[in-house]
A and B are shown apart, each in its own frame.
Chain A
Amino acid sequence: MRRSVSIAVLTVAVVIGVGTVAVGRKDLLASAQQKPETTEVKIDNFSFGPATLTVPVGTSVTWTNRDDIPHTVVSTEGAFKSKVLDTDEKFAYTFGKAGTYPYFCSIHPKMTGKVIVQ
């Protein structure tokens, strides 16, 4: 009797262990196959919100201009450059490498922001 209980406990433990491994593998597969995580930056009142955004490598960031005035999203170091964005127009860029990416609006250079990719 004692023995069979032990076997039962062991079996449950093994099943849980296998289950955990399976779930972990599924997560890995999902992150490799699904689209990159998307994050939004909103342009409101001549400012980028959030002004500093931290994202994992592979993230696609979308900027949306919600002002009545056109803006641009231009990397200070030349990594990316949007066309002029009129009201409600969007620009997206996927960050494939870790690093800090400062950017600004080339029409209103007082508008600055940065994306930190980890």
Chain B
Amino acid sequence: MAGTVKDEIMHDHNHDGIDRRGFLKCMAWAGTGALCVMSGGVLKSYSLSRLPGLSPKEAMGELSFVQISDSHMGFNKPANPDVAGTLKAAVDKINALPGAPDFMLHTGDISHLSKPEEFDTVDQILKSAKPKDVFYVPGEHDVLNDDGKQFLERYGKGGKGAGWYSFDKKGAHFIGLVNVMNLKAGGLGTLGHEQLEWLEDDVKQLKHSTPIVVFAHIPLWSVYPEWGWGTEDSAQALAYLKKFGSVTVLNGHIHQTMQKVEGNVTFHTAASTAFPQPQPGKADSPGPMKVPAEQLKSVLGITDVNFVQGQHALAVVDSTLA
């Protein structure tokens, strides 16, 4: 899908470099490698083939971080018998990025069965990544059998409640949320009253111009509720973020890239480093999807995010492991 930008822009009413059709094409690129730049709430898209023409600042930004997700260490079924190998390939990809990212986010399902040795293996593999800081939120596979106690001990020290927290990096405010605890029969992901109250309080004092990055495991938008791909009370969380000019929401869980823009909020889901899952409703269940071995790395990936200070711009780039 390496078309020129001119091809994509047919109805540029706002003179912002993007029309609706262009945006849809940008979505289609996600997973094959595209650069989508948020600038003042406006999405601009470039194909990766144009990247060499961008200035280094445009390409790299001032803050750069990488999102990885759903490493499912311990999974050994036909969809991927070597999840350690593909996580290592993801680390190689991260280490090959131009300029080392400042840190990494892991949006959950670090392990497959919450076993200590699974977490140990991931920790060991991630040690070889250039970015040394990793910020985690749990997936439902990380809190099995012990209500998340082990996850909190390993990754959630200093967090509140089930492990939610926030931090600031170069003017951007990052918020890690937990929506995999206390799930109710028939329901979706849940943040819960206590966490929502904390969130409201956490963002109260921030300037409206502060770029916000929210990361959580299950999508905070309704991707496909029939498969549980959504969060019951995410609307309340997003209501607290309405006042901000730029909000980027990063999730995992669905093992495929997907993007949506709604007002000031850009939603983005990352690929898994372990195995792909079917598109919403395109299979009997959301179970692991087996693809021919030689195609596996083309459906796994990492997400590289760049933030240009002063421009309120976040660039989200998905790259496959192929």
Residues of chain A whose beta carbon lies under 8 Å from any beta carbon of chain B: 45-47, 67-70, 72, 76, 83-84, 86-87, 102-104, 106-110, 112
Contact = CB atoms under 8 A, between A and B. Distances in A.
A46 B112 CA distance: 16
Closest 7 CB pairs of A and B: A104-B185, A45-B285, A46-B285, A68-B77, A109-B183, A110-B228, A84-B144
Contact of B113 (A45, A47, A70, A102): A70
A67 B289 CA distance: 12
A68 B79 contact: yes
Contacts of A104: 185-186
A68 B144 CA distance: 16
B146 to A, nearest CB: 10
B288 A70 contact: no
A83 B228 contact: no
Contacts of B245: none
B140 interface: yes
A69 B144 contact: no
B287 A45 contact: yes
6 contacts: A46-B227, A69-B287, A84-B145, A107-B141, A107-B183, A110-B227
Interface residues of B, number: 24
A47 B287 CA distance: 11
Contacts of B228: 108-110
Contacts, number: 56
Nearest to B283: A45
A93 to B, nearest CB: 17
Nearest to B190: A109
A102 B186 CA distance: 11
Interface string B182-194: 0111111000000
Interface of B: 77-79, 112-114, 140-141, 144-145, 183-188, 226-228, 284-288
Contacts of B288: 68-69
Contact of B183 (A46, A87, A106): A106
Nearest to A68: B77
Contact of A46 (B140, B144, B287): B287
B61 to A, nearest CB: 37
A73 to B, nearest CB: 12
A109 B145 contact: no
B113 A46 contact: no
Contacts of A106: 183
Nearest to B77: A68
A77 B32 CA distance: 46
B276 to A, nearest CB: 13
A16 to B, nearest CB: 53
Contacts of B78: 68
Contacts of A45: 284-285, 287
B185 A86 contact: no
Contacts of B188: 109-110
Contacts of B112: 70
Contact of A87 (B77, B144, B227): B77
A47 B285 CA distance: 9
B187 A109 contact: yes
Contact of A112 (B79, B144, B186, B286): B186
